[in-house]
Every structure is written in C-alpha cells, then in structure tokens.
Amino acid sequence: MADIEIIGLALTEENIKDVLTHVLAKSQELVDAAVDDCYNEAYDTVPVATGQLRSSLTPVYAGDSGESTPTMVVGYVYADDLVADYGQYVELGTRFMVAQPFLRPAYEVAAETMTSDADHVLDGL
C-alpha cells in the first residue's frame, strides 16, 4: 500500500491506525468534558420550584450512549420526561408562560469550550 504524506509527515498504514485511535480517544475525552460542562451549566441554571426538573437532568457520556461509532462520538444531556414531563414547556415556553431556557444555553457554553479545546486533539502525535 502506498504511503501518504501530509505536510511533511509520512504516514504508513500502521501510523494511520495509531492516529485514528488517538483522535478517537481524544474526541471521546472532549465530548465527555463537554457533557460535564453542559450538565453542570444546566443544573445551575434550571428553574427550581420543586427540584423535580433539576433531578431529571441526565448526562449521557460518549462510551455510554450506544450511538458512538468509529467515525462519530456522541454524548448529550437531556431532561428525562419520565421524571419531569414538563421540561420542554420550561425550556421553550407556552402561550401562557415565558420560556426559561436552561438546556440551550448550557449546550452553547459546552460547545464553545469544546470548540476551543478541539485545537489540541492532535497534540502528542
């Protein structure tokens, strides 16, 4: 198989596997850190009357989601509607109630942090 040269770096098939393994591991770390950031931000900003909505917040990490693949890493936070079935009304509002977003702003904070941290994925190669 032919070697590939990227910006002066010669990669063999073996090196490519090592690079992909490294990038996947770093990506999982980034996603898990973003899930933590998102969960913490949502937990701190969710409106609390009884605490039920706050207790419904559920983080799902990259290795636990069952949705991650070798080319895609998935992690997220959601308000479990089996615990508190009104989270969407608080987040988005209704015609009778003003929205009090807590998940969207948390995702935005986590995405900003993750984007800035993604610059270091290839460090250590």
Task: Give the residue among 62, 60, 58, 59 at the shortest CA–CA distance from 74.
Answer: 62
pLDDT tens-digit series, residues 70-94: 677 888 898 998 899 999 999 999 9
> For residue 119, what is the DSSP state?
G
Query: 33: exposed, middle or buried (C-beta count within 10 Å: 0-12, 13-18, 19+)?
Result: middle
Q: Is the pTM of this model over 0.75?
A: yes
> Could you tell me the residue ranges of all domains in the chain?
10-118
**Residues 49-63: what's their mean pLDDT?**
90
Residue type, 108: E
Written as six digits, the tokens of 119 are: 């610059």
